[in-house]
């Protein structure tokens, strides 16, 4: 296994597991896909480094597949909560270093944390919060939450600002930091302030949510 890339075992190849596994493989990682459904496994065989058909509630089957050799395991079994819990426990028993698990609800989440999962994800809730933030602030195209109310956001520059210098963006009265401008896929840091804004430019701004919202309303 190449050491510069990390190795991942994705257990459960539903829509969520398949997406994560395929993306990890696309980034150049070693990824094994695990599912007890042969058709799901076959459909991922050409995308992933390895695939195996097994029931992950069976600890022996996981050991046989050499699951402990993987740096990270992701349990992406949603509907069958019992199978998800047993799989997480088995991964712990096998000594897998880092275990991430997709949960279906808050109770499931609590149980998985108690079992020692390193990270428990509630995709619907997390995505729902993300979507609500963007609907709440229409110029916000996307954002990354940094914790403690801070976010870095990607904002659309209004068309009327095209042709104006970057410093025409007025942050007065807002406790915000302009990090830079995205033009297509190219990033220009904010310190190159002689920059002229163009239509479709996006600005990358750091700050707290209410400040970002009122700045969004202003521009």
Residues that bind ligand ATP (CB under 6 A): 12-17, 35-37, 40, 55-57, 76-80, 83
CA dihedral 194, 198, 201, 206 (to 10 degrees): 30
Backbone angles phi, psi at 127, to 5 degrees: -70, -35
Query: C-alpha 189: how far from its chain's center?
Result: 24
CB of 34 to ligand ATP, least distance (A): 6
Cβ atoms of 8 and 71 within 8 Å: the answer is yes
First CA to last CA across the chain, in angstroms?
51
Among all residues, whose Cβ is closest to ligand ATP? 78
Tell me whether residue 77 or residue 166 sits nearer to ligand ATP (CB atom). Answer: 77
Residue 29 CA to residue 23 CA, distance in Å, equals: 9
CB of 143 to ligand ATP, least distance (A): 24
Residue 136 CA to residue 97 CA, distance in Å, equals: 39
Tell me whether residue 72 or residue 77 sits nearer to ligand ATP (CB atom). Answer: 77
Tell me whether residue 105 or residue 196 sits nearer to ligand ATP (CB atom). Answer: 105
Overall residue count recorded for the chain in this entry: 219
CB of 78 to ligand ATP, least distance (A): 2
CB of 42 to ligand ATP, least distance (A): 12
CB of 98 to ligand ATP, least distance (A): 19
Tell me whether residue 49 or residue 104 sits nearer to ligand ATP (CB atom). Answer: 104
Tokens of 71: 């740096």
- How many other β-carbons are positioned within 10 Å of the β-carbon of residue 129? 11
Tell me whether residue 76 or residue 181 sits nearer to ligand ATP (CB atom). Answer: 76
């Amino acid at each position: 296994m190449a050491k510069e890339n990390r190795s991942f075992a994705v257990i459960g190849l539903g829509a969520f597991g398949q997406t994560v596994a395929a993306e990890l493989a696309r980034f150049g990682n070693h990824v094994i896909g695990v599912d007890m459904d042969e058709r799901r496994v076959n459909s991922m065989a050409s995308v992933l480094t390895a695939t195996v058909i097994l029931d992950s509630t069976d600890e022996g089957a996981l050991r046989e597949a050499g699951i402990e050799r993987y740096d990270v395991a992701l349990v992406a079994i949603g509907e069958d909560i019992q199978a998800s819990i047993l799989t997480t426990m088995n991964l712990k028993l096998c000594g897998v270093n880092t275990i991430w698990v997709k949960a279906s609800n808050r109770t499931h989440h609590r149980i998985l944390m108690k079992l020692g999962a390193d990270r428990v994800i509630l995709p619907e809730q997390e995505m729902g919060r993300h979507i609500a933030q963007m609907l709440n602030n229409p110029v916000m195209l996307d954002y990354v939450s940094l914790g403690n109310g801070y976010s870095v956001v990607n904002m659309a520059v209004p068309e009327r600002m095209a042709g104006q210098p970057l410093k025409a963006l007025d942050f007065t009265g807002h406790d915000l930091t302009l990090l830079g401008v995205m033009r297509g896929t190219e990033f220009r840091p904010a310190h190159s302030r002689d920059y002229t804004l163009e239509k479709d430019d996006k600005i990358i701004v750091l700050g707290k949510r209410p400040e970002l919202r009122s700045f969004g309303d202003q521009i």
